[in-house]
């Protein structure tokens, strides 16, 4: 629903950075109650948090621009790439070795995404 609304706002001429700003304010306000047990961070934790925020902001600007320019049915198939990236990052950064059920899940999710994309765009009418 969120991406449908982003598309609607984009078609009405709302600028992407403003959409991201409002989303970010909402996210921060939603997370505020959970910040009650705050503790000081180490320098490494602060750098990790800032890096995650930087990459998240880049991703949010990119996905907002994409959904402003094209319908969700054409973009959503690429959103499933996060499953592959999460598996690869888990393997290379944390040494997580996926079990057979995880691999089957990756194949099922990505296979259905490709099938859905094909069905939406290339099936005979």
Kindly report which listed range (34-48, 95-109, 110-124) carries the lowest average pLDDT score: 110-124
Long-range Cβ contact pairs of 65-70 (< 8 A, separation 24 or more): 65/16, 67/3, 67/6, 67/7, 67/10, 68/6, 68/7, 68/9, 68/10, 68/11, 68/16, 68/19, 69/10
Task: Please answer whether residues 83 and 109 qualify as being in contact, where contact means their C-beta atoms are separated by less than 8 angstroms.
Answer: yes
pTM of the model: 0.67
Alpha carbon distance 6, 63 (integer Å): 10
34 pLDDT higher than 80: yes
Looking at every residue in the chain, the average pLDDT score rounds to 87
What pLDDT does residue 124 have?
66
- Asked if residue 25 has pLDDT above 90, the reply is yes
Give the confidence band of 102 by pLDDT, cuts at 50, 70, 90.
very high
CA-based radius of gyration for the chain:
18
């Amino acid at each position: 629903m969120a991406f449908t609304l982003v598309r609607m706002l984009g078609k009405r001429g709302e600028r992407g950075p403003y959409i991201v700003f409002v989303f970010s304010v909402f996210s921060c306000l939603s997370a505020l109650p959970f910040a009650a047990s705050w503790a000081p961070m180490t320098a490494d934790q602060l750098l990790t948090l800032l890096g995650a925020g930087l990459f998240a902001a880049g991703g949010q600007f990119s996905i907002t621009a994409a959904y402003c320019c094209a319908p969700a049915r054409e973009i959503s198939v690429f959103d499933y790439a996060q499953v592959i990236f999460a598996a690869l990052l888990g393997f290379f950064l944390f040494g997580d070795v996926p079990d057979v059920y995880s691999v089957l899940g990756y194949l099922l999710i990505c296979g259905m995404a490709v099938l859905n994309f094909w069905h939406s765009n290339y099936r005979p009418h």
